[in-house]
Amino acid sequence: MKIFFIFALIFIQQVSRAEDCSITFFSKIYRFHRDQALQNRDLILNSNCDEVIQNKIVALLSNAEGVLGIDFIKNEIKKDIPSLDLQLSPNKISLLDLSLSLKDQLPTGSDLYFLQVKSLNGLNTLGLAEGEQMRAICDSCQNLGEKNIKLDITNPINNTNRALWFNAKIMAKVKVVKANRNLSFQQKSLSKVDFYFDEIFTMSPDNSLTTLENIQFFKTNKTLLQNSVVSNLDLQAVNLVNFGTPVQVSLLNQNIILQKTAMPIRSAKFGETIEIKGPNNKNLSAKVVDYNKVVIEL
């Protein structure tokens, strides 16, 4: 009888603990990337609840974002554990993206983004307790490249402060051209159907091809794989005019267009200005505009 009483007392204590517990969350939880799954330590500052209860809450919040009220969390948990007296604080928590927060805090261009953010202090996420404020410091974050960023975190009420360091790649979001299929360097010319437009993040946008205008006057200087980003350095202009081959000359004078035939003095590519032999062997300057076609603007 005495042993039965002891077991009953232990059972009552366990049930009591299961039905009355509390959890304090971080007030703000910053993911390092948007689809990052969260764990107990990322959300919970301290707790005396059973681990099963903590895991249920974390599973509920792992894919959430934005501002969530505590009542929502309580109501969801009570569906599984109706008798649970769960005390939660603070009244709301914010699930945020650190990359976007850095972009808002630091003076970067509108087309610059903080990507591949990682902690230099071994953190999986950044959690701020209620009352803490964050300030980002980075002297060179207005330029593209890999940067180290300092976060000063202070609590004016408790008069506390701490510093954390993060690394991020600052990239520009740009429109680029990608190969629609594998393109061999042996292909003599290109066409618009060989490519499609897309947007990417990059730290070196200057060399990216951004237009297909006049692409038919170029060829690749190496094999381009399907879906690869095309750089201006991957292309080379082909000769549209060849020495010894007659060209059609268009003479433009306001609304009057006259066409003649002449002989180029050298081979040339699209957009180049060359000398051609006109009537009476007189040399004239003309601009290459197409295969075996040049223009003289009078």
249 in a structural domain: yes
- CATH number of the domain to which 86 belongs: 2.60.480
Asked if residue 11 belongs to a domain, the reply is: no
* Owner of token pair 């006259």: 258
- The verdict on residue 4 lying in a domain is no
Inter-helix orientation angle 70-80/51-61, to 10°: 120
**Where residue 19 falls among pLDDT bands split at 50, 70, 90?**
low
Q: How confident is the model at residue 297 (pLDDT cuts 50, 70, 90)?
A: confident
Whether the per-residue pLDDT at 17 is higher than 70: the answer is no
Provide the domain limits for residue 117. Answer: 98-170
The tens digit of pLDDT for each residue in 248-293 reads: 998 877 666 677 888 999 999 999 999 998 767 788 899 999 999 9
Q: First vs last Cα of the chain: how many Å apart? A: 117
Which burial class, exposed, middle or buried, applies to 155 when counting CB atoms under 10 A from its CB (0-12, 13-18, 19+)? Answer: middle
* Model confidence pLDDT, tens digit, residues 96-150: 999 999 988 887 767 789 999 999 999 999 999 999 999 999 988 888 999 999 9
Kindly report the number of other CB atoms within 10 A of residue 292's CB atom.
Answer: 14
Give which of 159, 255, 282, 161 is closest to 150, Cα–Cα. 161
| 6 in a structural domain | no
User: Interior CA angle at 297 toward 296 and 298, to 5°?
Assistant: 110
Whether 114 and 158 map to the same domain: the answer is: yes
Reported as half-sphere exposure (CB side, CA atoms, 13 A), residue 243 has a value of: 3
Label residue 87 by pLDDT band (50, 70, 90): very high
Confidence of residue 2 (pLDDT cuts 50, 70, 90): very low
Contact 118, 147 (CB under 8 A): no
137 and 74 in a single domain? The answer is no
* Residue 86 confidence (pLDDT) above 70: yes
Q: Of 131, 106, 98, which Cα lies nearest the Cα of 29? A: 98
| Tokens, residue 50 | 């059973």
pLDDT digits (tens, 9 = 90+) for 179-222: 999 999 888 889 999 999 999 999 888 888 989 999 999 999 99
Pair 27, 75 in one domain: yes
How many domains, the chain? 4
